[in-house]
């Protein structure tokens, strides 16, 4: 009797392990992640939504008549930083609970604030301060409660913390250049290095996102007349293009395991009313599926977070959202 129970237990465990291995190999372990994202609710609002990483169980977290966008999970998954103009004036950084409740404004002032990104320890938030001229944008860093704000880096936007919290990747339109590229700098303001050399007018490298292990950076750059998702080693080596369809690819976001990347495809990046959808691929560029199952959806700015695990936040597009999808960032 005891032998029979042991045999049944062993067979069950073996089947479970084999099934789990196949599940992971196929890149379909969706239930381990949740995705928070922006949905454009025509004609004049955007809201923060959350869904399972297979595209199911969509839920509106903000449901507010303002422009709410650019969500970013806190490392412990209890809060979401986002951008809104709900109090009038320029867009500012807010924080709310993971259930969408109790939003609190962290920033104020006459300049637009964009692209919040939590530090890996959850103690600080980096973000972009964007004047009217994109070239004059800079990165600021503040405590997670909005205090102790400091100007961190000029000619910079789209901050993405490294998983160890020692560096920040960003995109920059440097003085004298007409294209953006990806740079990395130490959080002490030292050891600046240039990661990409795209040499594409106004459409060089942007939207950087550190991989969970800190070894690679995903970003967007123009190639074959379309924006595509690339990955590059953090030191600038082994650049690889992941997307290949003649489509407008944007806003890469890593899964907690580093095995998958969510990204956005725009029907027309120059048309504010063109639909956009979130897609999923493996980190080596193998396509998995479209997560926005509804035709004509307006989903963008994904951020993935594992249930039960804390990882470093991923980047949010500032250049693309601010320059092309102006309905959310060029706010009154």
pLDDT bin (cut points 50, 70, 90) of residue 176 is: low
Q: For the segment 246-285, what is each residue's pLDDT rounded down to a tens digit?
A: 999 999 999 999 999 999 999 877 666 678 999 999 999 9
| Topology of the domain comprising 35-329 | Neuraminidase (2.120.10)
pLDDT bin (cut points 50, 70, 90) of residue 21 is: very low
The residue that leads in pLDDT, 99 or 41, is 99
Reduced to 3 states (helix: H, G, I; strand: E, B; else coil), residue 23 is helix
| Predicted confidence (pLDDT) at residue 10 exceeds the cutoff of 70 | no
Q: Which two tokens stand for residue 60?
A: 């509106």
Q: How far apart are CA 263 and CA 73, in angstroms?
A: 16
Which helix (DSSP H) or strand (DSSP E) does residue 303 occupy?
Answer: strand 299-306
**pLDDT for residue 197:** 86
Q: For the segment 122-162, what is each residue's pLDDT rounded down to a tens digit?
A: 999 999 999 876 678 999 999 999 999 999 999 899 999 99
The full set of domain ranges for the chain reads 35-329
pLDDT bin (cut points 50, 70, 90) of residue 292 is: confident
C-alpha distances out from residue 288 to 214, 218, 259, 280, Å? 23, 17, 12, 5
Which helix (DSSP H) or strand (DSSP E) does residue 282 occupy?
Answer: strand 276-282
Q: Which two tokens stand for residue 140?
A: 């600021």
Q: For the segment 180-227, what is each residue's pLDDT rounded down to a tens digit?
A: 899 999 999 999 999 998 876 446 799 999 999 999 999 999 888 899
- Model-wide pTM > 0.75: yes
Q: How far apart are CA 219 and CA 207, in angstroms?
A: 5
| Predicted confidence (pLDDT) at residue 310 exceeds the cutoff of 70 | no
Q: Are 49 and 39 in contact (CB under 8 A)?
A: yes
**pLDDT for residue 167:** 97
CA-based max dimension of the chain: 80
250, 251, 257, 258 alpha-carbon torsion, rounded to 10° = 60
Give the pairing type, strands 124-130 and 138-143. Answer: antiparallel
> Mean pLDDT, the chain, as a whole number?
81
């Amino acid at each position: 009797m005891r032998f029979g129970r042991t045999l049944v237990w062993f067979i069950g465990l073996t089947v479970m392990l084999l099934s789990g291995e196949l599940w992971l190999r196929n890149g379909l372990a969706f239930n381990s992640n949740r995705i928070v994202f922006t949905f454009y609710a025509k004609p004049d609002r955007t809201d923060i939504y959350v869904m399972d990483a297979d595209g199911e169980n969509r839920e509106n977290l903000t449901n507010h008549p303002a422009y709410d966008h650019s969500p970013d999970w806190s490392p412990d998954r209890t809060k979401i930083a986002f951008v809104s103009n709900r109090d009038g004036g320029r867009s500012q950084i807010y924080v709310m609970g993971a259930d969408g409740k109790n939003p609190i404004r962290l920033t104020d002032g006459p300049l637009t604030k964009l692209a919040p990104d939590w530090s890996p320890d959850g103690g600080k938030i980096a973000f972009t301060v964007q004047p009217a001229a994109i070239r004059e944008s800079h990165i600021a860093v503040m405590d997670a409660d909005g205090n102790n704000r400091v100007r961190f880096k000029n000619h910079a936007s789209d901050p993405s913390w490294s998983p160890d919290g020692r560096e920040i990747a960003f995109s920059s339109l440097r003085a004298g250049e007409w294209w953006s590229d990806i740079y990395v700098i130490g959080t002490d303001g030292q050891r600046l290095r240039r990661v990409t050399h795209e040499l594409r007018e106004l459409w060089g490298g942007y939207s950087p996102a550190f991989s969970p292990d800190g070894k690679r950076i995903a970003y967007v750059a123009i190639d074959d007349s379309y924006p595509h998702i690339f990955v590059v080693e953090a030191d600038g080596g082994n650049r690889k293009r992941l997307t290949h369809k003649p489509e407008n690819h944007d806003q890469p976001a890593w899964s907690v395991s580093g095995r998958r990347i969510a990204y956005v495809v725009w029907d027309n990046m120059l048309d504010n009313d063109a639909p956009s959808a979130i897609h999923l691929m493996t980190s080596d560029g193998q396509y998995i599926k479209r997560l926005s199952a509804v035709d004509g959806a307006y989903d963008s700015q994904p951020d993935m977070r594992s249930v039960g695990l804390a990882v470093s936040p991923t980047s949010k597009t500032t250049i693309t959202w601010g320059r092309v999808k102006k309905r959310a960032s060029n706010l009154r």
